[in-house]
Structure 1
């Protein structure tokens, strides 16, 4: 039996009914003025109970609500489905196609209570080096500044008067790595001559005869964390000869030799759980037990040289007990407890994570203590990744690349967040402000740039160098940025 045909009048009525229903649905959607939410800490603790919140609420308004629930006045960032809420809830829900029928679990992350202000101007342009400056480094408390150069010397600068203080001579090759001990008492330097020198940053004098560390250049140095060794007398060195060594600096002897890499070791980190991490041009990352020198595991995945690595706890390990308040502990016991507390906070629930960057254009996020499998593969760059860095709070990762861009990633999941573009040359280094809100980048294009992490935009450009800017560091107290360039000048930048 053929289907019954509807009259034109019936079709018109049906079309009108359908249109009316669609309009009604749209109207009901547009009438949504609140959403049911609950605030959850990173550790899974719910603040208060679920509540109805205006759909046009901003992060600032969410913060006011949370401050009321927690009875404090601290700043927070808010995340939904691992993505940070930067505008209103309504725009976030629309952009990410989030269903509002169920309760929305908003994760809140505490920000640093203090705020670092962006540097805006060069206050000193300091000559002295006769070759390119390859590395600059502030001490943990920000009172000392050291620079290493292709002229084989190290220079110490007075950060208060911004004048030269000491010239440290002894190396016979390029000085390419400098590391202050976590208590600020010793400066270690490594050079292409294979030697490690140890210096007193106050007097500028060498502490002992140089350590004949490697048959080829010293590529990287790392001190044992202060909370594991209050004497600060253990140092790890990585060489171009493919060897990692652990030194007792007081006795001037090698405690352990960690061999296994088949090419140059480009970077070494000494973690807070008693492990040493080394990355190499043999495309692998090795995890060593520092106490025994045994190999715990090998992390594989990169398809080319691994250039650099960073730990989520780097900032806490570097600065020891020093913090933004500048208050000194009353005794060694209190100082040690501070170190333990700061490290425990940085370690958090996610543990000590590692990020590695490679010539294969990718970075990998690892939980190296627990597994040899990566947490995530960070891809998107178009050229070799030269430098990687965790933010002080561990929430972000920045990767610097020769493709003239910096990419921002979630520090816990490795999820891509943003790309910072603006440089017209390869980017050599990045450095975070102590509050994790700002990022400074140095480039082949002779400039530096300051980026705002919340807005994902460039905040300031810092021109002034006459050639490539190889090295940059932000003082732990947040007051200064130092940069070293191929033009042989050290520049200090302030607000």
Structure 2
């Protein structure tokens, strides 16, 4: 059995990506898992080579701080949401601007699973989600109306619905084709639903809140499933789910990165110290790593083996889980 000192040593970042000069608001993996992109308050997006830890090509320079990043499903385009307003869509290979979308300061930004739409939630239109044609940057459909201020959102795996986490802690699911609310508002969190994600099979919604809890919901009925995941000592800012649906990563204002077993709701291993608030914690496509960005000027890569995660299983095993 490892000593406490040895365990602490394994929880150091496997790699640190240094280049930003201000805090990192968002980090994302490209679909191939070989590159990551990080957006910062220093008004730059840096694309990194994961293996070498070095910058991969020139930076994407903006005239505003970056609030959020989304990568198209084919990895060819990168969309950046700006705190001062609007979205810029870039060609991820040439680093040239494809088009710009005008609007208010961006809270959240997402590509639909088929790459057809870009969804935005903005400060100027708090109670709606807007959909834009990803190829042209033009409005695609009427705005999706929500019952409260939108603070987080996620497309369902089949792209037919969007789940919105609201400022009052509730959750709402909207049918994209009709614009109608089909589930919710779901009450459970006591305050802001900071992050929401669908499980890869679409059966569950996982949410994180400033009430320090992570909760799981039936995506069709809105019923809470099982007990919440508790352990963060501060507000939970962000979550992600492995592609096989077994693990959840979370980051919070207690400066920690944690990994949870989605079936048991128990924390896997001990937390990692990110030395600042954590705003983004995506898993790598193969589930072998987690990257984190937050109120520090670097991106940390964590080896999931340090959390006690060994290997992965097919997503179809998730269908056999009993919650």
Residue matched to 2:209: 401
Q: Deviations over 1:39-90 (max 9, x none)?
A: xxxxxxxxxxxxxxxxxxxxxxxxxxxxxxxxxxxxxxxxxxxxxxxxxxxx
CA distance in 1, matches of 2:274, 2:206: 26
Instruction: Note the C-alpha offset of 1:383.
Output: 0.9
Q: Which runs of 5+ in 2 are unaligned?
A: 1-6, 309-323
Determine which of 240, 243, 255 is the counterpart of 1:431.
Answer: 240
Q: Structure 1 426/225 Cα, relative in aligned 2: closer, same or farther at 3 Å? A: same
Determine which of 222, 247, 260 is the counterpart of 2:70.
Answer: 222
Residue matched to 2:3: none
Instruction: Note the C-alpha offset of 1:200.
Output: 3.7
CA distance in 1, matches of 2:56, 2:132: 28
Paired residue secondary structure (2:266): strand
Q: Deviations over 1:440-477 (max 9, x none)?
A: 4444446666544445x435462463966625444443
Q: Deviations over 1:95-133 (max 9, x none)?
A: xxxxxxxxxxxxxxxxxxxxxxxxxx6662437xxxxxx
Give the helix-richer structure, 1 or 2.
Answer: 1
Residue matched to 2:10: 124
- TM-score normalised to structure 2 length: 0.76
Paired residue secondary structure (2:202): coil
Q: Structure 1 494/276 Cα, relative in aligned 2: closer, same or farther at 3 Å? A: same
Paired residue secondary structure (2:143): strand
Q: Deviations over 1:129-151 (max 9, x none)?
A: xxxxxxxxxxxxxxxxxxxxxxx
* 2:34–2:50 CA contact under 8 A, matched in 1: yes
Q: Structure 1 406/288 Cα, relative in aligned 2: closer, same or farther at 3 Å? A: same
CA distance in 2, matches of 1:461, 1:205: 29
Which structure 2 residues correspond to residues 440-451 of structure 1 after superposition, within 5 A? 440-445=249-254, 451=260
Q: Structure 1 391/122 Cα, relative in aligned 2: closer, same or farther at 3 Å? A: farther
Greater relative CO (CA pairs within 8 A, separation 6+): 2
CA distance in 2, matches of 1:277, 1:421: 28
* 1:404–1:426 CA contact under 8 A, matched in 2: yes
Residue matched to 1:94: none
Instruction: Note the C-alpha offset of 1:173.
Output: 2.8
* 2:117–2:133 CA contact under 8 A, matched in 1: yes
Determine which of 297, 307, 311 is the counterpart of 2:151.
Answer: 307
CA distance in 2, matches of 1:454, 1:167: 32
Structure whose alpha-carbon radius of gyration is higher:
1
CA distance in 2, matches of 1:182, 1:188: 11
- TM-score normalised to structure 1 length: 0.52
CA distance in 2, matches of 1:276, 1:434: 22
The RMSD of aligned alpha carbons is 3.2
Count residues with an aligned counterpart: 291
Q: Deviations over 1:286-338 (max 9, x none)?
A: 1111122221221122433x32222223xxxxxxxxxxxxxxxxxxxxxxxxx
CA distance in 1, matches of 2:288, 2:52: 24
CA distance in 1, matches of 2:220, 2:237: 24
Q: Structure 1 469/420 Cα, relative in aligned 2: closer, same or farther at 3 Å? A: farther
* 1:176–1:192 CA contact under 8 A, matched in 2: yes
Q: Structure 1 276/463 Cα, relative in aligned 2: closer, same or farther at 3 Å? A: closer
Q: Which runs of 5+ in 1 are unaligned?
A: 1-120, 128-161, 227-231, 314-346
